[in-house]
Amino acid sequence: MAQKMQMGLGKGLSALLGDLEGGNESRSEISTLKISRIEPNRAQPRTKFDEAALEELAESIRTHGVITPVVVRRIGEDRYQLIAGERRYRASRLAGLDELPARVLEVDETEAYEMAMVENLQREDLDPIEEAEGYRVLCETYGLSKEEAARRVGKSRPAVANAMRLLALPEEVKAMVTAGALTAGHARAVLSVPAEKDRLPAARIIAEKGMSVRQAEVFCAKFGVEKGELVCGGVQKVDYTADLAERLSRDMGRRVQVTCKKGRGTLVLHYDNLDDLDALIARITGN
């Protein structure tokens, strides 16, 4: 029987599963399971899968088999719920397999969801709206604070809070973000438009004009006053230093300040607490 895991979610997926690759299997069971006995997690953060990519993976599985086990938890007598590896699970079904290699973990529903979030975030499989929805589930369904959710998935609190802001967007704008027509930075700019009824028109103009994030911020700041046509009539003057700071802030999930004068300047990275500082240092040094 697998042992109850002690979660270390903020340290990444390897901390969740233990040192399994090094042969330490004391925290999990490795089994061959009937696919019919495995059910996907309906609350899985990732909702979209590329059908063509799945078919390619299925063809590889037909030839080579499943190299890396999926991760599941036991939910009943000979019944299991998928935690990680849904692409392999779906592709294996397409390939016509009856069985799958699986690591069986003894974790509860909350821990399983956290693990699925970490796997998808580390592999960058979630679009910004899926990521935001995932944090919402951790906070509202499983009762975690934003700070707790951030710690569990190895993010900063501002990164989680900024991601969740996107849930206030109109559904049509969320769909544009999911489709890749707008980035998360564009979407946050749209949220600055005061009147909710103006946010969808503003988003459409941003996408049509192909604005940078900085241009979108300038545009949205004036949208309610000058309307879109006036703002978009000419070429926007872009503050590239501010644009760089915004992109770094978005990518690093923290406030970043950039100053530049005659080709020289400073780059300031802000952190929330000592744990966040440790995470920042680890990201910079790669340790």
> Among candidates 80, 88, 79, which has minimal Cα distance to 54?
88
Residue 155, phi then psi, degrees to nearest 5: -115, 170
- Report residue 6 CA to chain centroid gap: 23
Which fold, 9-108? 3.90.1530
Give the pLDDT band of residue 25 (cuts 50, 70, 90): very low
Give the pLDDT band of residue 69 (cuts 50, 70, 90): confident
Q: What CA–CA distance (Å, rounded) separates 230 from 223?
A: 9
DSSP type of residue 160: H
Q: What is the pTM of this model?
A: 0.55
Q: What CA–CA distance (Å, rounded) separates 123 from 215?
A: 30
Give the pLDDT band of residue 71 (cuts 50, 70, 90): confident
Quick check: 26 pLDDT over 80?
no
Radius of gyration for the alpha carbons in the chain, expressed in angstroms and rounded: 22
Q: Are 9 and 144 in contact (CB under 8 A)?
A: no
Quick check: 17 pLDDT over 50?
no
Q: Domain ranges for the chain, please list them.
A: 9-108, 172-238, 240-285
Q: What is the pLDDT of residues 131-159, one digit of tens each?
A: 898 888 888 887 888 888 888 777 888 88
Which residue in 21, 39, 55, 86 is the catalytic one?
Answer: 86
Catalytic residue check, 133: no
